Structure 1
């Protein structure tokens, strides 16, 4: 069963991230602090109160970053479909170089991003066992 956890709960760690330009494009990316670990697969990422799926990957200097948020884990792995990170960036009062709050709710599974001063509440859940996660990945790959 899911629990509702506010961003300022003692179990949530908040670090500063930055919205930067992805290369020479007008697409945003989130540059995370180096202490954020890089999980093996997609994670849940809350943007503007909606939950998406994203990959935290190292850039050329091994700095963790997020370049997209997608509707499901398979889309995040393959980077296909609508990039909701772009939608979130364009819909907010954000600019390149601005810092944002990166909430680590459940390391390796659930994260949130919010502009300074914004409040957020997250739906935490027990993570599935490894065998169930493997089954889910297999199903995602077949789609």
Structure 2
């Protein structure tokens, strides 16, 4: 069972981030705040204004932690195959390079949310699996 948490709840830590692009590809990315406790290459839950997707944390050309895409499953997030839900969400809201967004920390190291400034969202973050089960799943993927 998932707890529902509003974006303005005291347990949600919010960070203002800005949309940027990757080099000449002009592919959109979100550079995450340095203060986040996250590990590159981890696949984490990301709620796009309430819709849960999965993203793999990657490094920018400058070595900063970024989100460059989001997908329907953990496996698709690892491979980058399938429909990029982040790209579609950004296009649906006509968000461009330099636009501000709010990055919410729902469960440190596992579940995050993304929303437009001024929007209040009620999240349903997934529970983090037992670490031993996650390790087994990660070993099976390699």
Pairs within 5 Å for 1:1-143? 1-39=1-39, 40-137=41-138, 141=141
Distance 1:116 1:93 in 2: 14
What TM-score results when the alignment is normalised by the length of structure 2?
Answer: 0.89
Gaps of 5+ in 2: none
Secondary structure of residue in 1 paired with 2:78: helix
Root mean square deviation, CA, Å: 1.8
Could you list the runs of 5+ residues in structure 1 that have no partner in the other structure? Answer: none
TM-score (norm 1): 0.88
Kept in 2, the 8 Å contact 1:56–1:65? The answer is yes
User: Which 10-residue stretch deviates more, 120-129 or 62-71?
Assistant: 120-129
- How many residue pairs get matched? 141
Matched residue of 2:36: which SS? coil
Q: How far off is 1:21 after superposition?
A: 1.4
